[in-house]
Structure 1
Protein backbone atom coordinates (compact mmCIF):
# COMPACT_ATOMS: atom_id res chain seq x y z
CA UNK A 1 0.00 0.00 0.00
CA UNK A 2 1.24 3.47 -0.83
CA UNK A 3 2.33 5.60 2.09
CA UNK A 4 0.08 8.44 0.88
CA UNK A 5 -3.65 8.34 1.57
CA UNK A 6 -4.23 11.14 -0.98
CA UNK A 7 -2.79 12.02 -4.39
CA UNK A 8 -2.30 15.05 -6.63
CA UNK A 9 -5.71 14.64 -8.27
CA UNK A 10 -7.39 14.57 -4.86
CA UNK A 11 -5.79 17.87 -3.85
CA UNK A 12 -6.48 19.52 -7.22
CA UNK A 13 -10.17 18.61 -6.88
CA UNK A 14 -10.17 19.60 -3.22
CA UNK A 15 -8.90 23.13 -3.77
CA UNK A 16 -10.94 23.72 -6.92
CA UNK A 17 -14.09 22.77 -4.99
CA UNK A 18 -13.44 25.30 -2.23
CA UNK A 19 -14.85 28.82 -2.10
CA UNK A 20 -13.96 31.83 0.04
CA UNK A 21 -10.30 30.79 0.29
CA UNK A 22 -8.98 34.32 -0.17
CA UNK A 23 -9.38 35.97 3.22
CA UNK A 24 -7.15 38.11 5.39
CA UNK A 25 -5.56 35.79 7.96
CA UNK A 26 -6.41 37.32 11.36
CA UNK A 27 -4.05 37.87 14.29
CA UNK A 28 -6.07 35.34 16.31
CA UNK A 29 -5.82 32.60 13.70
CA UNK A 30 -5.89 28.99 14.91
CA UNK A 31 -2.92 28.15 17.18
CA UNK A 32 -1.98 31.84 17.48
CA UNK A 33 -1.48 31.52 21.22
CA UNK A 34 0.89 28.60 20.76
CA UNK A 35 2.89 30.43 18.09
CA UNK A 36 3.13 33.56 20.24
CA UNK A 37 4.49 31.57 23.16
CA UNK A 38 6.83 29.55 20.98
CA UNK A 39 8.29 32.56 19.18
CA UNK A 40 8.66 34.64 22.35
CA UNK A 41 11.04 32.15 23.86
CA UNK A 42 13.30 31.46 20.90
CA UNK A 43 15.37 33.26 18.28
CA UNK A 44 13.37 32.18 15.24
CA UNK A 45 13.83 34.13 12.01
CA UNK A 46 13.05 31.59 9.28
CA UNK A 47 10.16 29.16 8.94
CA UNK A 48 8.74 26.75 6.40
CA UNK A 49 5.23 25.34 6.35
CA UNK A 50 5.07 21.86 4.85
CA UNK A 51 1.99 20.65 3.02
CA UNK A 52 0.12 23.78 3.96
CA UNK A 53 -1.24 25.17 0.72
CA UNK A 54 -2.52 27.88 0.38
CA UNK A 55 -0.09 28.83 3.15
CA UNK A 56 -2.25 30.45 5.80
CA UNK A 57 0.27 29.72 8.56
CA UNK A 58 3.25 30.90 6.50
CA UNK A 59 1.26 34.09 5.82
CA UNK A 60 0.38 34.39 9.51
CA UNK A 61 4.04 34.11 10.53
CA UNK A 62 5.08 36.67 7.91
CA UNK A 63 2.32 39.18 8.70
CA UNK A 64 2.39 39.17 12.47
CA UNK A 65 5.91 38.06 13.39
CA UNK A 66 7.94 39.23 10.41
CA UNK A 67 9.51 35.84 9.79
CA UNK A 68 11.18 34.91 6.55
CA UNK A 69 8.44 32.42 5.69
CA UNK A 70 8.24 29.72 3.03
CA UNK A 71 5.60 27.26 1.89
CA UNK A 72 6.27 23.77 0.55
CA UNK A 73 3.54 21.62 -0.97
CA UNK A 74 3.02 18.75 -3.38
CA UNK A 75 0.35 20.74 -5.21
CA UNK A 76 0.23 24.52 -5.59
CA UNK A 77 -2.82 26.01 -7.32
CA UNK A 78 -1.33 29.26 -8.61
CA UNK A 79 -4.57 31.28 -9.13
CA UNK A 80 -5.74 30.45 -5.59
CA UNK A 81 -2.31 31.27 -4.16
CA UNK A 82 -2.27 34.65 -5.90
CA UNK A 83 -5.74 35.52 -4.54
CA UNK A 84 -4.88 34.48 -0.99
CA UNK A 85 -1.64 36.49 -0.97
CA UNK A 86 -3.43 39.53 -2.40
CA UNK A 87 -6.11 39.31 0.31
CA UNK A 88 -3.29 39.59 2.83
CA UNK A 89 -1.55 42.43 0.97
CA UNK A 90 1.39 40.20 0.16
CA UNK A 91 3.10 39.13 -3.03
CA UNK A 92 4.86 35.92 -3.98
CA UNK A 93 8.09 37.67 -3.07
CA UNK A 94 6.87 37.87 0.54
CA UNK A 95 6.24 34.15 0.99
CA UNK A 96 8.58 31.83 -0.89
CA UNK A 97 6.73 28.90 -2.49
CA UNK A 98 8.23 25.53 -3.34
CA UNK A 99 6.23 22.90 -5.21
CA UNK A 100 7.69 19.44 -4.84
CA UNK A 101 7.45 15.87 -3.61
CA UNK A 102 8.41 15.58 0.05
CA UNK A 103 9.75 12.08 -0.63
CA UNK A 104 12.10 13.21 -3.40
CA UNK A 105 12.96 16.85 -2.70
CA UNK A 106 16.38 17.69 -1.35
CA UNK A 107 16.18 20.96 0.65
CA UNK A 108 18.64 23.66 -0.31
CA UNK A 109 18.06 25.49 2.97
CA UNK A 110 17.32 24.64 6.58
CA UNK A 111 15.00 26.63 8.83
CA UNK A 112 14.67 27.70 12.46
CA UNK A 113 11.05 26.53 12.52
CA UNK A 114 9.51 23.69 10.51
CA UNK A 115 5.76 23.32 10.83
CA UNK A 116 2.89 21.40 9.37
CA UNK A 117 -0.78 21.70 10.24
CA UNK A 118 -2.90 18.87 8.93
CA UNK A 119 -0.28 16.95 6.96
CA UNK A 120 1.07 13.87 8.73
CA UNK A 121 -2.35 12.22 9.16
CA UNK A 122 -2.60 11.75 5.38
CA UNK A 123 0.23 9.18 5.36
CA UNK A 124 0.36 5.57 6.50
CA UNK A 125 3.88 5.67 7.96
CA UNK A 126 3.68 8.35 10.64
CA UNK A 127 7.26 8.10 11.85
CA UNK A 128 8.56 8.39 8.30
CA UNK A 129 6.56 11.53 7.50
CA UNK A 130 7.75 13.15 10.73
CA UNK A 131 11.32 12.28 9.74
CA UNK A 132 10.76 14.05 6.40
CA UNK A 133 10.26 17.29 8.34
CA UNK A 134 13.71 17.02 9.91
CA UNK A 135 15.65 17.43 6.66
CA UNK A 136 14.38 21.03 6.60
CA UNK A 137 15.25 21.73 10.25
CA UNK A 138 18.39 23.46 11.49
CA UNK A 139 20.28 21.94 14.43
CA UNK A 140 18.64 23.50 17.49
CA UNK A 141 15.57 24.36 15.42
CA UNK A 142 11.97 23.81 16.45
CA UNK A 143 9.48 21.32 15.03
CA UNK A 144 5.78 22.20 15.34
CA UNK A 145 3.12 19.78 14.08
CA UNK A 146 -0.64 19.83 14.46
CA UNK A 147 -3.23 17.36 13.23
CA UNK A 148 -6.95 16.89 13.72
CA UNK A 149 -8.23 14.56 16.41
CA UNK A 150 -10.74 12.13 14.90
CA UNK A 151 -10.70 9.74 17.87
CA UNK A 152 -13.46 11.47 19.85
CA UNK A 153 -16.73 13.20 19.10
CA UNK A 154 -15.37 14.92 16.00
CA UNK A 155 -14.30 11.54 14.65
CA UNK A 156 -17.82 10.18 15.17
CA UNK A 157 -19.16 13.12 13.15
CA UNK A 158 -16.70 12.39 10.34
CA UNK A 159 -17.58 8.68 10.25
CA UNK A 160 -21.30 9.35 10.36
CA UNK A 161 -21.52 12.12 7.76
CA UNK A 162 -18.36 12.04 5.62
CA UNK A 163 -16.80 8.59 5.59
CA UNK A 164 -14.91 9.38 2.38
CA UNK A 165 -13.01 12.19 4.09
CA UNK A 166 -12.52 10.08 7.23
CA UNK A 167 -10.85 7.39 5.12
CA UNK A 168 -8.33 9.94 3.81
CA UNK A 169 -6.88 10.10 7.33
CA UNK A 170 -4.63 7.71 9.22
CA UNK A 171 -6.57 7.53 12.48
CA UNK A 172 -3.83 5.55 14.24
CA UNK A 173 -1.54 8.59 13.91
CA UNK A 174 -3.85 10.56 16.21
CA UNK A 175 -2.19 9.43 19.42
CA UNK A 176 -0.03 11.89 21.42
CA UNK A 177 1.87 9.12 23.21
CA UNK A 178 2.71 7.43 19.91
CA UNK A 179 3.73 10.74 18.31
CA UNK A 180 5.98 11.67 21.23
CA UNK A 181 7.61 8.25 21.05
CA UNK A 182 8.38 8.63 17.35
CA UNK A 183 9.94 12.06 17.95
CA UNK A 184 12.20 10.68 20.66
CA UNK A 185 13.20 7.73 18.46
CA UNK A 186 14.19 10.27 15.78
CA UNK A 187 16.53 11.96 18.25
CA UNK A 188 14.44 15.03 19.03
CA UNK A 189 14.58 16.74 22.41
CA UNK A 190 12.12 18.65 24.62
CA UNK A 191 9.27 16.64 23.10
CA UNK A 192 5.68 17.58 23.89
CA UNK A 193 2.55 15.98 22.43
CA UNK A 194 -0.96 16.64 23.68
CA UNK A 195 -4.62 17.15 22.85
CA UNK A 196 -5.35 20.80 22.17
CA UNK A 197 -8.39 23.02 22.13
CA UNK A 198 -11.82 22.99 23.63
CA UNK A 199 -14.69 21.31 21.84
CA UNK A 200 -15.25 21.74 18.10
CA UNK A 201 -16.60 19.73 15.16
CA UNK A 202 -16.58 20.35 11.41
CA UNK A 203 -17.37 18.72 8.08
CA UNK A 204 -15.70 19.33 4.74
CA UNK A 205 -19.03 18.61 3.04
CA UNK A 206 -21.24 20.62 5.39
CA UNK A 207 -22.86 22.52 2.52
CA UNK A 208 -24.10 19.24 1.03
CA UNK A 209 -25.82 18.11 4.24
CA UNK A 210 -29.58 18.44 4.60
CA UNK A 211 -31.22 20.93 6.94
CA UNK A 212 -31.94 18.37 9.66
CA UNK A 213 -28.30 17.28 9.80
CA UNK A 214 -27.05 20.87 9.82
CA UNK A 215 -29.41 21.69 12.68
CA UNK A 216 -28.30 18.66 14.68
CA UNK A 217 -24.62 19.41 14.19
CA UNK A 218 -25.08 23.06 15.12
CA UNK A 219 -26.82 21.99 18.33
CA UNK A 220 -24.04 19.48 19.06
CA UNK A 221 -21.38 22.11 18.42
CA UNK A 222 -23.12 24.61 20.71
CA UNK A 223 -23.60 22.05 23.49
CA UNK A 224 -19.96 21.08 23.40
CA UNK A 225 -18.83 24.70 23.35
CA UNK A 226 -20.94 25.56 26.40
CA UNK A 227 -19.75 22.48 28.28
CA UNK A 228 -16.05 23.16 27.67
CA UNK A 229 -16.50 26.82 28.53
CA UNK A 230 -17.87 25.82 31.93
CA UNK A 231 -15.36 22.98 32.30
CA UNK A 232 -12.37 23.96 30.10
CA UNK A 233 -10.81 20.55 29.59
CA UNK A 234 -8.66 19.28 26.76
CA UNK A 235 -9.11 15.58 26.12
CA UNK A 236 -9.19 12.73 23.61
CA UNK A 237 -12.97 12.79 23.40
CA UNK A 238 -13.52 16.54 23.10
CA UNK A 239 -10.42 18.34 21.80
CA UNK A 240 -10.37 18.97 18.03
CA UNK A 241 -6.57 18.92 17.61
CA UNK A 242 -3.33 17.25 18.62
CA UNK A 243 -0.14 19.31 18.90
CA UNK A 244 3.46 18.10 18.76
CA UNK A 245 6.46 20.27 19.60
CA UNK A 246 10.13 19.28 19.74
CA UNK A 247 13.66 20.61 19.26
CA UNK A 248 16.33 19.18 16.95
Structure 2
Protein backbone atom coordinates (compact mmCIF):
# COMPACT_ATOMS: atom_id res chain seq x y z
CA UNK A 1 0.00 0.00 0.00
CA UNK A 2 1.68 3.22 -1.13
CA UNK A 3 -0.93 5.85 -1.93
CA UNK A 4 0.51 8.60 0.27
CA UNK A 5 -0.22 12.20 -0.66
CA UNK A 6 2.94 13.28 1.19
CA UNK A 7 6.47 11.95 1.59
CA UNK A 8 8.75 11.16 4.51
CA UNK A 9 10.98 14.02 3.38
CA UNK A 10 8.05 16.44 3.52
CA UNK A 11 7.26 15.62 7.15
CA UNK A 12 10.87 15.64 8.27
CA UNK A 13 11.29 19.11 6.75
CA UNK A 14 7.93 20.25 8.17
CA UNK A 15 8.92 19.43 11.75
CA UNK A 16 12.63 20.18 11.44
CA UNK A 17 12.39 23.40 13.42
CA UNK A 18 9.84 22.15 15.90
CA UNK A 19 10.65 23.57 19.33
CA UNK A 20 9.58 21.69 22.43
CA UNK A 21 8.31 23.49 25.50
CA UNK A 22 6.13 22.18 28.30
CA UNK A 23 3.68 25.06 28.13
CA UNK A 24 3.34 24.84 24.36
CA UNK A 25 2.49 21.15 24.56
CA UNK A 26 -0.06 21.78 27.31
CA UNK A 27 -1.63 24.67 25.37
CA UNK A 28 -2.05 22.58 22.22
CA UNK A 29 -3.25 19.36 23.83
CA UNK A 30 -5.39 20.59 26.72
CA UNK A 31 -8.03 22.10 24.43
CA UNK A 32 -9.22 18.51 23.86
CA UNK A 33 -9.42 17.59 27.55
CA UNK A 34 -13.17 16.93 27.41
CA UNK A 35 -12.55 14.30 24.74
CA UNK A 36 -9.43 12.85 26.36
CA UNK A 37 -11.50 12.31 29.52
CA UNK A 38 -14.17 10.56 27.48
CA UNK A 39 -11.56 8.35 25.81
CA UNK A 40 -9.68 7.30 28.94
CA UNK A 41 -12.55 7.06 31.40
CA UNK A 42 -12.10 6.64 35.15
CA UNK A 43 -9.16 4.24 35.57
CA UNK A 44 -6.65 4.36 32.72
CA UNK A 45 -3.57 4.01 34.98
CA UNK A 46 -1.17 1.29 33.89
CA UNK A 47 -2.78 0.79 30.49
CA UNK A 48 -1.04 1.38 27.17
CA UNK A 49 -1.55 3.84 24.34
CA UNK A 50 -0.27 4.07 20.77
CA UNK A 51 -0.45 7.04 18.42
CA UNK A 52 -0.42 6.32 14.70
CA UNK A 53 1.73 8.95 13.00
CA UNK A 54 2.75 10.25 16.42
CA UNK A 55 5.70 12.50 15.54
CA UNK A 56 6.76 14.78 17.26
CA UNK A 57 5.17 13.12 20.29
CA UNK A 58 3.51 16.04 22.04
CA UNK A 59 0.05 14.41 22.34
CA UNK A 60 1.57 11.19 23.66
CA UNK A 61 3.71 13.04 26.19
CA UNK A 62 0.74 15.07 27.40
CA UNK A 63 -1.54 12.04 27.71
CA UNK A 64 1.08 9.87 29.40
CA UNK A 65 1.71 12.62 31.93
CA UNK A 66 -1.97 13.39 32.55
CA UNK A 67 -3.42 9.86 32.64
CA UNK A 68 -0.44 7.72 33.67
CA UNK A 69 -0.58 5.45 30.61
CA UNK A 70 2.42 4.00 28.78
CA UNK A 71 2.79 5.63 25.35
CA UNK A 72 4.08 4.22 22.08
CA UNK A 73 4.83 6.45 19.12
CA UNK A 74 4.58 4.86 15.67
CA UNK A 75 5.96 7.07 12.91
CA UNK A 76 8.34 6.67 9.99
CA UNK A 77 10.15 9.93 10.74
CA UNK A 78 13.83 9.15 11.20
CA UNK A 79 14.41 11.77 13.93
CA UNK A 80 13.59 10.11 17.25
CA UNK A 81 15.24 12.92 19.20
CA UNK A 82 12.25 15.25 18.84
CA UNK A 83 9.91 12.55 20.12
CA UNK A 84 12.22 11.90 23.06
CA UNK A 85 12.38 15.63 23.78
CA UNK A 86 8.58 15.80 24.00
CA UNK A 87 8.55 12.98 26.55
CA UNK A 88 11.44 14.41 28.51
CA UNK A 89 9.94 17.88 28.88
CA UNK A 90 6.88 16.35 30.57
CA UNK A 91 8.96 13.91 32.65
CA UNK A 92 7.70 10.80 30.87
CA UNK A 93 10.39 8.14 31.12
CA UNK A 94 8.63 4.89 30.18
CA UNK A 95 7.77 4.89 26.47
CA UNK A 96 8.37 3.10 23.17
CA UNK A 97 9.21 4.54 19.76
CA UNK A 98 8.49 2.50 16.63
CA UNK A 99 10.14 4.03 13.57
CA UNK A 100 7.98 2.12 11.12
CA UNK A 101 5.83 2.75 8.06
CA UNK A 102 2.23 2.18 9.13
CA UNK A 103 1.28 1.05 5.62
CA UNK A 104 3.63 -1.95 5.73
CA UNK A 105 4.22 -2.62 9.43
CA UNK A 106 2.33 -5.49 11.07
CA UNK A 107 1.88 -4.96 14.79
CA UNK A 108 2.80 -7.89 17.06
CA UNK A 109 0.69 -6.51 19.93
CA UNK A 110 -2.51 -4.62 20.61
CA UNK A 111 -3.23 -1.60 22.79
CA UNK A 112 -5.84 -0.35 25.24
CA UNK A 113 -6.02 3.02 23.49
CA UNK A 114 -5.28 4.03 19.91
CA UNK A 115 -5.16 7.65 18.75
CA UNK A 116 -4.57 9.14 15.33
CA UNK A 117 -4.40 12.85 14.63
CA UNK A 118 -4.11 14.36 11.15
CA UNK A 119 -3.11 11.09 9.51
CA UNK A 120 -5.70 9.33 7.35
CA UNK A 121 -6.40 12.40 5.19
CA UNK A 122 -2.93 12.12 3.63
CA UNK A 123 -3.83 8.91 1.77
CA UNK A 124 -5.87 8.16 -1.32
CA UNK A 125 -7.31 4.94 0.13
CA UNK A 126 -8.17 6.39 3.52
CA UNK A 127 -10.66 3.61 4.30
CA UNK A 128 -7.91 0.98 4.21
CA UNK A 129 -5.78 3.16 6.47
CA UNK A 130 -8.71 3.54 8.86
CA UNK A 131 -9.38 -0.18 8.82
CA UNK A 132 -5.76 -0.94 9.69
CA UNK A 133 -6.11 1.12 12.89
CA UNK A 134 -8.39 -1.58 14.28
CA UNK A 135 -5.61 -4.18 14.21
CA UNK A 136 -3.88 -2.19 16.98
CA UNK A 137 -6.91 -2.19 19.28
CA UNK A 138 -7.30 -4.81 21.98
CA UNK A 139 -10.51 -6.63 22.95
CA UNK A 140 -11.91 -3.82 25.09
CA UNK A 141 -9.99 -0.96 23.53
CA UNK A 142 -10.97 2.59 22.66
CA UNK A 143 -9.87 4.76 19.78
CA UNK A 144 -9.83 8.50 19.08
CA UNK A 145 -9.30 9.86 15.58
CA UNK A 146 -9.01 13.52 14.64
CA UNK A 147 -8.67 14.92 11.14
CA UNK A 148 -8.85 18.47 9.79
CA UNK A 149 -12.07 19.64 8.20
CA UNK A 150 -11.47 21.37 4.89
CA UNK A 151 -14.96 21.29 3.46
CA UNK A 152 -17.67 23.92 3.43
CA UNK A 153 -16.53 27.53 3.47
CA UNK A 154 -13.09 26.40 4.65
CA UNK A 155 -12.45 24.80 1.24
CA UNK A 156 -13.05 28.11 -0.55
CA UNK A 157 -10.75 29.92 1.88
CA UNK A 158 -8.02 27.32 1.42
CA UNK A 159 -8.27 27.55 -2.35
CA UNK A 160 -7.69 31.28 -2.15
CA UNK A 161 -4.81 31.44 0.34
CA UNK A 162 -3.52 27.91 1.07
CA UNK A 163 -3.87 25.78 -2.10
CA UNK A 164 -0.59 23.88 -1.63
CA UNK A 165 -1.70 22.62 1.75
CA UNK A 166 -5.16 21.79 0.42
CA UNK A 167 -3.59 19.64 -2.31
CA UNK A 168 -1.96 17.18 0.13
CA UNK A 169 -5.23 16.42 1.90
CA UNK A 170 -7.89 13.98 0.73
CA UNK A 171 -11.15 15.83 1.30
CA UNK A 172 -13.20 12.71 0.61
CA UNK A 173 -12.53 11.43 4.13
CA UNK A 174 -13.76 14.66 5.73
CA UNK A 175 -17.31 13.53 6.39
CA UNK A 176 -19.06 12.22 9.49
CA UNK A 177 -20.49 9.42 7.34
CA UNK A 178 -16.98 8.06 6.71
CA UNK A 179 -16.63 7.41 10.43
CA UNK A 180 -20.14 6.03 10.80
CA UNK A 181 -19.40 3.54 8.02
CA UNK A 182 -16.07 2.68 9.65
CA UNK A 183 -17.83 1.91 12.94
CA UNK A 184 -20.35 -0.29 11.17
CA UNK A 185 -17.65 -2.24 9.31
CA UNK A 186 -15.87 -3.13 12.53
CA UNK A 187 -18.78 -3.36 14.97
CA UNK A 188 -17.51 -0.38 16.96
CA UNK A 189 -19.62 1.76 19.27
CA UNK A 190 -19.44 5.49 18.53
CA UNK A 191 -18.86 7.33 21.80
CA UNK A 192 -18.47 10.74 20.13
CA UNK A 193 -18.60 12.07 16.57
CA UNK A 194 -18.50 15.79 16.09
CA UNK A 195 -17.07 18.86 14.42
CA UNK A 196 -14.80 20.80 16.72
CA UNK A 197 -12.68 23.94 16.89
CA UNK A 198 -12.66 27.45 15.51
CA UNK A 199 -12.10 28.53 11.94
CA UNK A 200 -8.64 27.43 10.68
CA UNK A 201 -7.27 30.71 9.36
CA UNK A 202 -3.58 29.66 9.49
CA UNK A 203 -1.77 29.13 6.18
CA UNK A 204 1.30 27.09 5.19
CA UNK A 205 2.80 29.04 2.29
CA UNK A 206 4.06 32.44 1.23
CA UNK A 207 1.24 34.85 0.36
CA UNK A 208 0.95 37.48 -2.32
CA UNK A 209 -0.57 40.88 -1.55
CA UNK A 210 -4.16 39.86 -2.31
CA UNK A 211 -3.82 36.65 -0.31
CA UNK A 212 -2.40 38.58 2.64
CA UNK A 213 -5.46 40.81 2.69
CA UNK A 214 -7.81 37.81 2.59
CA UNK A 215 -5.85 36.07 5.32
CA UNK A 216 -5.68 39.07 7.64
CA UNK A 217 -9.40 39.83 7.26
CA UNK A 218 -10.33 36.24 8.10
CA UNK A 219 -7.94 36.06 11.02
CA UNK A 220 -9.33 39.29 12.45
CA UNK A 221 -12.98 38.41 11.90
CA UNK A 222 -12.86 34.88 13.28
CA UNK A 223 -10.46 35.48 16.18
CA UNK A 224 -12.21 38.63 17.39
CA UNK A 225 -15.84 37.90 16.54
CA UNK A 226 -16.99 34.70 14.85
CA UNK A 227 -15.07 31.92 16.61
CA UNK A 228 -17.17 32.48 19.71
CA UNK A 229 -20.13 31.18 17.71
CA UNK A 230 -18.20 28.63 15.66
CA UNK A 231 -17.01 26.95 18.88
CA UNK A 232 -20.52 27.03 20.35
CA UNK A 233 -22.20 25.74 17.19
CA UNK A 234 -19.65 23.48 15.40
CA UNK A 235 -20.34 22.79 11.74
CA UNK A 236 -19.00 21.51 8.44
CA UNK A 237 -18.81 25.06 7.13
CA UNK A 238 -16.45 26.66 9.65
CA UNK A 239 -15.08 24.17 12.24
CA UNK A 240 -11.45 23.12 11.90
CA UNK A 241 -11.66 19.50 13.02
CA UNK A 242 -13.63 16.26 12.85
CA UNK A 243 -13.25 14.20 16.03
CA UNK A 244 -14.43 10.63 16.60
CA UNK A 245 -14.17 8.28 19.57
CA UNK A 246 -14.90 4.55 19.20
CA UNK A 247 -15.13 1.63 21.59
CA UNK A 248 -15.12 -2.07 20.89
CA UNK A 249 -18.53 -3.54 21.68
Q: Which runs of 5+ in 1 are unaligned?
A: none
What's 1:195 paired with? Answer: 195
- The 1:191–1:40 alpha-carbon spacing in structure 2 relative to 1, beyond 3 Å, is closer
- The 1:219–1:196 alpha-carbon spacing in structure 2 relative to 1, beyond 3 Å, is same
Distance 1:227 1:165 in 2: 23
- The 1:98–1:2 alpha-carbon spacing in structure 2 relative to 1, beyond 3 Å, is closer
- Aligned to 1:57, the other structure's residue is in SS state helix
Superposition deviation, residue 12 in structure 1: 2.3
**How many residues are treated as equivalent by the alignment?**
242
Residue by residue, what CA displacement relative to the aligned partner does 1:26-82 show, whole Å, maximum 9, x if unpaired? 165342221023323564621111102011111111111111111101224133334
What's 1:168 paired with? Answer: 168
Moved more, 118-127 or 192-201: 192-201
Moved more, 93-102 or 74-83: 74-83
More helix by share: 2
Residue by residue, what CA displacement relative to the aligned partner does 1:87-145 show, whole Å, maximum 9, x if unpaired? 3344xx43311111212222222111100010010111122111111111001211110
- Aligned to 2:157, the other structure's residue is in SS state helix
Q: Which runs of 5+ in 2 are unaligned?
A: none
Moved more, 53-62 or 2-11: 2-11
What's 1:99 paired with? Answer: 99
- The 1:46–1:224 alpha-carbon spacing in structure 2 relative to 1, beyond 3 Å, is same
What's 1:15 paired with? Answer: 15
What's 2:67 paired with? Answer: 65
Distance 2:222 2:160 in 1: 18
